[in-house]
Structure 1
Amino acid sequence: MTAALRHYDPPSFSERLRDAHAMTRPLMLEIIDHACRHFPSLGQNGRTARVMRLLDAEAWADAALALMELELPTWQFRRIAYDEGEWHCALSRERELPDWLDAAVEARHADLSLALLSAFIEARALAADMSRPSVPSVRAPLDPLYEPVVCDNFG
């Protein structure tokens, strides 16, 4: 199945990642299968092979970072912090902007790899929304009973 035909539902992935206690290989493969557009199309080049080696080694955080580098090259980490038992991750397209001007994507989880992947899923959904045109490409058909009327009162 092509990447264009696959169903991608970011809210369900976000909920699943939030409810997960630890990263597993099946969960990571499902995220790659459903949320990654570039990974399957690149075949087995060096970067995809690196991600697969990291998955085999169960290096979940490193695999998440490599996956983000592959899928979202224009996004960068703004912040990774550990506070009160949770990892807080923020991804941004404009990392050099002050915090109050930047529209960063933030996620948190007790497990670092799940926090990284939650931020990745949110950024991926935002990037997908941004790539859609803001103006429809096809005009809606006009109602046959529609007739414009001038309502100006010059009196």
Structure 2
Amino acid sequence: MTAALRPHDLPSLGDRLRNAQVMTRPLMREVIDNACRRIPSLGRSERTARLVHLIDAGAWTDAALALMELELPLWQVRRIAYDEGEWHCALSRERELPDWLEAAVEECHGDLAIALLSAFVEVRALTAEASRPSVPNLRPATDPLYEPAACENFR
């Protein structure tokens, strides 16, 4: 598992999820390896053991929900709906706000676990783009042709 997210991997991972027919163990492993940054730091805790147990049992939907609970503690499932052969899943930071007031991340797929994980990967891509370093940036380097001039008048 990688400790740092590589934002360039997330769009291709989202594409692989959307193109998959059913959830498989290698696909779940790929999601964990490429989109999860908290699981490696949790080590062998009770929560990660539960996730491993769900993956081993092939309980893909429960594993996807457990993965989102571990990795996105501030995000919640806003809506799961089945319409015309597809599952529509929406994740949101503020579940109680009206739809028109809060922008939720929504994905759809014929398989519920893949729809959930597609929304998860989309949130990861959004948060990776919006993340800021904890240390402020340095001022940009000045122009090499710039030369300060003293303009004081001491009269």
TM-score (norm 1): 0.87
Q: Which amino acid aligns with 2:20?
A: A
Q: CA deviation at 1:33?
A: 1.2
Instruction: Please tell me the root mean square deviation across aligned C-alpha atoms, in Å.
Output: 1.9
Q: For residue 21 of structure 2, give the secondary structure of its aligned residue in structure 1.
A: coil
Q: Which of the pair has the greater relative contact order for Cα pairs under 8 Å at 6+ separation?
A: 2
The within-5 A match list for 1:128-139 is: 128-132=128-132, 137-139=137-139
Which residue in 1 is equivalent to 2:153? none
The within-5 A match list for 1:39-58 is: 39-58=39-58
Q: For residue 139 of structure 1, give the secondary structure of its aligned residue in structure 2.
A: coil
The within-5 A match list for 1:1-150 is: 3-4=3-4, 7-8=6-7, 9-132=9-132, 137-146=137-146
Identity of aligned residues (%): 71
Q: CA deviation at 1:27?
A: 0.8
Separation of aligned partners in 1, 2:128 and 2:57: 30
Q: CA deviation at 1:2?
A: 5.2
CA deviation map 1:23-80 (0-9, x unaligned):
0001101111111111111111110000000001000000000000000000001100
Aligned positions, number: 146
Q: CA deviation at 1:136?
A: 6.3
Q: Which amino acid aligns with 2:53?
A: R
Q: For residue 91 of structure 1, give the secondary structure of its aligned residue in structure 2.
A: strand
- Unmatched tracts of structure 2, length 5 or more: 149-155
Q: Which amino acid aligns with 1:62?
A: D
Q: CA deviation at 1:111?
A: 0.5
Q: Which amino acid aligns with 2:84?
A: E
Q: For residue 13 of structure 1, give the secondary structure of its aligned residue in structure 2.
A: helix
CA contact (8 A) 2:2 2:33 kept: no
Q: Using a 3 Å threshold, how does the CA distance of structure 1 residues 144 and 18 change in structure 2: closer, same or farther?
A: same
Separation of aligned partners in 2, 1:83 and 1:66: 24
